[in-house]
Copies of this chain bind each other. A is one copy, B any other.
Amino acid sequence: MTVSKTAADAARASRPLRREPVDPAGDDSMLQLGELSGLLGYSLKRAQLKVFEDFLRCVAPLQLTPAQFSVLLLLDKNPGRNQTEIAATLGILRPNFVAMLDALESRDLCARMRSTNDRRSHILVLTDKGRAVLARAKKLVANKHEARLIEVLGPANHAALLEMLAKLAQEF
């Protein structure tokens, strides 16, 4: 037998030959996830759904979705911007942002003002009510939602998780 090393051989050799985690196979009515539990995208999506669900619960008294909350946050931090700029920053397409703003404006949380410089664009502003709702939402999010996340993960892990997700969202 020769000593030829194929790519597969090399890969196998370089791997620390870890034992398969054989998912705990509890109940026989519980299916085996197999390599699904190692798929980052799979866990990512499931975690995202859970986190959004908790967000909605925590901020339910104010009737704000995560997307709406992010719009209010952005308007507060970036006064004087128009629809195109806000939408683009959030990864929302302009056509889809129209109905979103309609909903917020109909609740008197923000307003569109025609720009004097460029009469095509609408300058977006938070109303007083919008600022008040945002302030209350921030407290609910911090004290109920994020607090629970930090509790479950631990502060250090929470920070590390945030950093990794930001890296993925950027340079991937």
Contacts and interface: CB of A to CB of B under 8 A. Distances in A.
Chain A: interface residue count, which band?
35 or more
Interface string A45-85: 11111111011000000000010001001101110010001
A33 to B, nearest CB: 7
Given A47-B165, A48-B44, A34 B74 contact: yes
Nearest to A51: B41
Nearest to A77: B34
A99 B35 CA distance: 24
Contacts of A50: 168-169, 172
Contacts of A41: 48, 51-52, 55, 66, 145
A105 interface: no
A31 B66 contact: no
A77 B33 contact: yes
Contacts of A136: none
For the residues of A in contact with B, the DSSP-based class is helix
A152 B171 contact: yes
Interface in A124-167: 138, 141, 145-146, 148-149, 152-153, 157-158, 160-162, 164-167
A1 interface: no
A78 B37 CA distance: 14
